[in-house]
Amino acid sequence: MTRGLSEADVENTALHWLRGLGGQVKYGPDLACGMPEAERSDPGYRDVILEGRLRDALTRLNPELPAEALADAQRKLLRLDAPR
């Protein structure tokens, strides 16, 4: 009998792929609210978008835009009620 893919298999494959693209991979609990390297603000892990990383990426990808335009873009990306 052959074994199917497990959640760990999928996660490890995705992490390998992201590292290959130059992504930085960190262990989730290290980013948790209250930790020294915290990037999350919700102790229940409901914040799926890490706002600091989003802000850094917008700045890196759009260095010519003024801070106000970058802040507006971030607000729009974080709006839950925005049309899909």
Annotate 6-69 with DSSP letters as a single string: -HHHHHHHHHHHHHHTT-----GGGGSTTSTT---S-TTS---S-HHHHHHHHHHH-TTS-HHH
pLDDT exceeds cutoff 80 at 82: no
Is the full-model pTM beyond 0.95? Answer: no
pLDDT, tens only, 1-27: 567 889 999 999 999 999 999 988 888
| Cβ atoms of residues 42 and 51 within 8 Å | no
* Joined tokens for residue 68: 């106000």
pLDDT exceeds cutoff 80 at 37: yes
